[in-house]
Chains A and B, each alone.
Chain A
Amino acid sequence: MPRLNKFRVRIETGDKGMEEPVRFCFNSHRLPLEDVSGGTKTGEVLEGGYEVNSVTHSMTLVGPDKGEWSLKKVTVDFECENTPPYSVEFPAVELDETSEMDIWQDPPLPTFDV
């Protein structure tokens, strides 16, 4: 499992916005995003990140405690130890008080042309 130095997430909210602070769950620890800009109301875009500096077992985006939150697109930029930075883009999903979204993805395996 790779050691994640830091990540930055960009969340485009769809037609169901929410007003709670955005939280993520790293290795089952729930944390708020840092260095946040933008918002999560309908149609808004929020950006935030966190300097994790830890080995990653799981990482999720936590749904709101009340109501529903539709995510139009989620883009995560990862900076892991010993691998080049990489980006992952997730399609639309809807979260609520019973759900969280897996946003972790291992660094891509290196390829070469043959």
Chain B
Amino acid sequence: MTAVKREIREIVREEPFMRGRILAALAEGPHTVPEIAEAIGRPANEAMYWVMGMRRYGWVREVKEAAVDGYFRYQAVAREQRS
């Protein structure tokens, strides 16, 4: 967590690029943001921007309840289910 925090604009700009990697990671099943970050090899705070951006536009959604460790898990939304 102590790695240099990049500019928000720079991180956000990469969302379309990261989308494929994140969806590939979620193909195995729902993951938390730190798990997604580990799967794509990027910091969790950056994965947070991408996952939340994808959530906003219907690519992923949260599994209903947060796990006991305090993290929600996110799952991919099938293209035909995206509104």
User: Do A and B come from the same complex?
Assistant: no
List residues of A whose CB falls within 8 A of some B CB: none
